Amino acid sequence: MREIGQEGIGSLEAVLSKRVRFFRSDFIRQSTVVFLASLVGCFFSYLYQIYMGRALGPEGYGAFGSLFAIFYLISIFTGTVQNAGARFVSGFYARGETEKIGPFLYGMLKKSAVLGGFGFAVFCLISPGIASFLKISSNSEVLVLGTVILVSFLMPAASGAVQGLQRFYLFAFLGILTMGLKFSSGVLLVSMGYGVSGALGAVTLATLGALLGALFILRPYLKNSRNGNGHNFRELYLYSVPALLVMMCLAVPSNVDVILAKHFFNGQEAGLYTASSVMGKIVLFLPGAIAIVMFPKAAEMSIQGKDTLRLLNRSLLFTGILSGLAAAVFTIFPGIIGVIFGETYLQAAGIAGLYVVAMALFSLTWVVAQYCLAVNDLRYTYLLVAMTALELGIIAFMHGTTLRMAEVLAVVNFALFVSSYLYVVLGGGVSRREKIEDLDHHAGL
């Protein structure tokens, strides 16, 4: 009996020890901090969306939502800049080559400024066509969106460096700063009578404020790093092209449908669908912290030749819990959309419940895609492009109602996650031998 008791105590101590190590894990602690910051940022972001929905009305909000969706699509390019910056800075950090971070970052900022200026010029030229496609009478609203593009290329270069350095607390602060500025300036501009233009102009002001904060954080690395030409960006370009395709495909399930809804349906229906999509994207905001922390850690482990699959599984577990709980709440209580946006939007309750399920499934795919980018497995691009083309094709032929569009999203997102995870587990990803060869290459062996 005494031996059994001692064995039982020993087992209990082992379990408690594992739990203590679990909660002391850097990954858990950092993910929790970024998650809490994401909650605050999400709070401001949704106050912003709710205010715009109420202040602009369904028709105005439909125009705002379609333009905002274009901004998210443009964020594909800026998101690629952030991922590339985070991965390469993580590589310098893992190999102890911190002296290369400054020249690399300075070069990234210069190239991002050129891209932003070019994007702004192109957007101004095609703005009349965009206004016509979206059935928006005022071209000025589209032009204001162009100013968002101008500044949005610089911010990811800086925030990607902060993420790659694993300065997650400061990264979290930048997120809160951005959302807080967007909400406060958006309310001010719209209340002054600037309407949709004011709502979009707030994004420009918020991005500028966050950029100044990021550059202040990175000033030790930028000091004495004015000559960015010394860094060879060829490897960055080779990484960025397939990474851009991945980011483009990731933007489709949560953005393109809103644009198509504005094109296929009348203003009232498009506004209701936009509100449903905003509710559904809550499940993307909540687990986003997991991918933010996972990305540089997976990149560092991959460069060091370590096994990263366990990190992916842990990230998927936490993402599934967070997004699943959020989806359950909105599915059980779909009438929440009326409480938040007003009784006018109660007609979209059925769509909103289904949309959150689609986004919960998509949040898992997002984690897998970020993992593949972190470990430099760019072959995953082929699978993602094929599934995205399938989704667009189905929506194009089966867009009879907004509810049908939400159903398509749910089914395709389920298939996309299952196929993505099986790809990684059953042979996809970078092999350990390739990781070691990559490590040897960077070490100059």
pLDDT score of 225: 64
Cα separation, 241 vs 252, in Å, equals 17
Please state which of the ranges 19-23, 84-88, 269-273, 366-370 shows the lowest mean pLDDT. Answer: 19-23
pLDDT score of 10: 47
Mean pLDDT, residues 201-228: 82
Within a 10 A sphere around the Cβ of 319, how many other Cβ atoms? Answer: 25
Which has more confidence, 439 or 110?
110
Which has more confidence, 394 or 208?
208
Which has more confidence, 377 or 253?
377
**CA angle (15 as vertex; 14, 18 as ends), nearest 5:** 85
Whether the per-residue pLDDT at 6 is higher than 70: the answer is no
Confidence of residue 286 (pLDDT cuts 50, 70, 90): low
Cα separation, 406 vs 395, in Å, equals 9
Please state which of the ranges 1-15, 243-257, 295-309 shows the lowest mean pLDDT. Answer: 1-15
pLDDT score of 1: 46
Whether the per-residue pLDDT at 403 is higher than 60: the answer is yes
Which has more confidence, 33 or 13?
33
Residues comprising the chain, all counted: 445
pLDDT score of 316: 93
Sign of CA dihedral 363, 368, 369, 374: positive
Rg (CA), the chain: 22
Q: Which two tokens stand for residue 174?
A: 């930048």
The answer to whether the beta carbons of residues 323 and 359 sit under 8 Å apart is yes
Q: Which two tokens stand for residue 292?
A: 């933010």
Q: Which two tokens stand for residue 20?
A: 């203590």
pLDDT single digits (tens) 134-171: 777 777 778 888 888 888 888 888 888 888 888 888 88
Cα separation, 14 vs 16, in Å, equals 5
Q: Which two tokens stand for residue 61?
A: 């909000």
Mean pLDDT, residues 252-270: 73
The answer to whether the beta carbons of residues 373 and 291 sit under 8 Å apart is no
pTM above 0.85, yes or no: no
Mean pLDDT, residues 372-396: 84
**CA angle (223 as vertex; 219, 227 as ends), nearest 5:** 125
Confidence of residue 15 (pLDDT cuts 50, 70, 90): very low
pLDDT single digits (tens) 58-106: 777 777 877 877 777 777 777 778 888 888 888 887 777 777 888 888 8
Which has more confidence, 108 or 231?
108
Residue type, 30: Q
Mean pLDDT, residues 331-346: 75
Please state which of the ranges 47-56, 152-161, 232-241 shows the lowest mean pLDDT. Answer: 232-241
Mean pLDDT, residues 16-22: 45
pLDDT score of 137: 72
pLDDT score of 392: 79
pLDDT score of 371: 92
Mean pLDDT across the chain = 78
Percent of the residues in the chain that have a pLDDT greater than 70, as a whole number = 86
Q: Where do the structural domains in the chain lie, given as residue ranges? A: 29-443
The answer to whether the beta carbons of residues 152 and 74 sit under 8 Å apart is yes
Cα separation, 63 vs 144, in Å, equals 13
Cα separation, 171 vs 164, in Å, equals 10
The whole-angstrom distance between residue 66's C-alpha and the CA centroid of its chain comes to 18
Whether the per-residue pLDDT at 16 is higher than 60: the answer is no
3-class SS string, the chain: CHHHHHHHHHHHHHHHHHHHHHHHCHHHHHHHHHHHHHHHHHHHHHHHHHHHHHHHHHHHHHHHHHHHHHHHHHHHHHHHHHHHHHHHHHHHHHCCCHHHHHHHHHHHHHHHHHHHHHHHHHHHHHHHHHHHHCCCCCHHHHHHHHHHHHHHCHHHHHHHHHHHCCCHHHHHHHHHHHHHHHHHHHHHHHHHHHHHHHHHHHHHHHHHHHHHHHHHHCHHHHCCCCCHHHCCCHHHHHHHHHHHHHHHHHHHHHHHHHHHHHHHCCHHHHHHHHHHHHHHCHHHHCCHHHHHHHHHHHHHHHHCCCCCHHHHHHHHHHHHHHHHHHHHHHHHCCCHHHHHHCHHHHHHHHHHHHHHHHHHHHHHHHHHHHHHHHCCCCCHHHHHHHHHHHHHHHHHHCCCCHHHHHHHHHHHHHHHHHHHHHHHHCCCCCCHHHHHHHHHHHHCC
- Tell me which range, 7-21, 99-113, 258-272, is most confidently predicted by mean pLDDT: 99-113
Which has more confidence, 27 or 107?
107
Contacts of 176 by beta carbon, 8 Å cutoff, 6+ apart: 37, 40, 41, 44
Which has more confidence, 325 or 24?
325
